[in-house]
Amino acid sequence: MEFFVSWILVNLLPFLVILTILVFVHELGHFLIARRNGVKVTTFSIGFGPELLGWTDRHQTRWRFSLIPLGGYVKMLGDADPSSGRADESLQLDEQEKSHTLHNKTPLQRMAVAFAGPAANILFTIVALSLTIMVKGMPHLAPVIAKVEPGMLADQSGIVEGDTIHKVNQKSVKDFYTLRRIIQESVGKDIELEIERNGEILHKKISLYQMDPTTQEKKPIKRLGIMPPAPIYISHNPFMAIVHGICISWDLTLETFQSLYGLITGKHSSHELGGILSIGEMAAQSTKSGLTSVIWLMALLSINLALINLLPIPVLDGGHILLCAIEMIRGKPLSAKAQEYIFLLGFLIVGSVMLFATWNDLLRYKVFHIFKSWF
């Protein structure tokens, strides 16, 4: 049992702190733009379920921390539920009160409120990275092999610690990030590495796949099994720090889109999908590495939170934007019954994905075996 408590403190607590910050930023975006458009916000909650503590401000918004700290929401006047999917028809509101509900606003105003949450996360990423680069510097990972994992493809191919990768398929490699990206793009193909070892230039051909002896099909290999050296931080002035912050945010956005596209098209296995335990482990590792690592992880998760919420799935912000767009095209909103079914479908989709990701985590970390050993 002591080990169980220790695991919570080491893995779960850092994750909850990071998640709380990112959820607050996301919901604050919704809150500010809603207020800007004359919408009354009745509840700003970090977490779900019963309230643990809270206060009411002068605008009659209840700010609260709730029991289940896995997300949050802003509930607006006239909403039937925290997702703002439909209006509560049972409420008896006068004309003045109706003018302060989200559902009484124009489609463009509602789209702005929905988009504000993801936009806040994207802005947070840019600001956090820019400030970190300004204060700490821009991390540079030289394309040098600091460690080779025994038995992995790199080890089998004769790559050793201290090797410097200059080119992959005649493409120059300026840092370890570039090396990693080129390798990811070349999965399932043959690559040629130009390596410098003790002042000598070597060329190695490596196949990022394995032939199935039965079917003669290529089984992609996604990892070489190499580790980068410790980062070197390069200082930049404020202007260049902001430029780098924007560029890195854009790169993270593209990588997230590529990952989502890979999952949807089947290019990436659905078993790669991770849930709370996977993110918790990442949070724990970044915490051990220091504040800079925590900020970089927060930037990655913030971009992921923004882009996932922009998917056109009901209950997510992208679903709200899509319904507003449909309303603008039709000239009138969908019926209340149709919206109810659409949002129910959205809950089922999101809930199923979360359950599947959690199941992957339970199998990945052998949680059932660990629980048996604890109890």
- Catalytic residue numbers read 27
The length of the chain is 375
User: How many alpha carbons lie under 13 Å from residue 13 in its C-beta half-sphere?
Assistant: 9
Orientation angle between helical segments 13-36 and 276-289, nearest 10 degrees = 100
Inter-residue contact 100 to 77 (CB < 8 Å): yes
What's the rounded Cα separation, in Å, for the pair 288 and 125? 21
Tokens standing for 259? 């990952």
3-state secondary structure the chain: CHHHHHHHHHHHHHHHHHHHHHHHHHHHHHHHHHHHCCCCEEEEEEEEEEEEEEEECCCCCEEEEEEEEEEEEEEECCECCCCCCCECCCCCCCHHHHCCCHHHCCHHHHHHHHHHHHHHHHHHHHHHHHHHHHHCCEEECCCECCEECCCCHHHHCCCCCCCEEEEECCEECCCHHHHHHHHHHCCCCEEEEEEEECCEEEEEEEECEEECCCCCCEEECCCCCEECCCCEEECCCHHHHHHHHHHHHHHHHHHHHHHHHHHHHCCCCHHHCCCHHHHHHHHHHHHHHCHHHHHHHHHHHHHHHHHHHCCCCCCCHHHHHHHHHHHHHHCCCCCHHHHHHHHHHHHHHHHHHHHHHHHHHHHHCCHHHHHHHHC
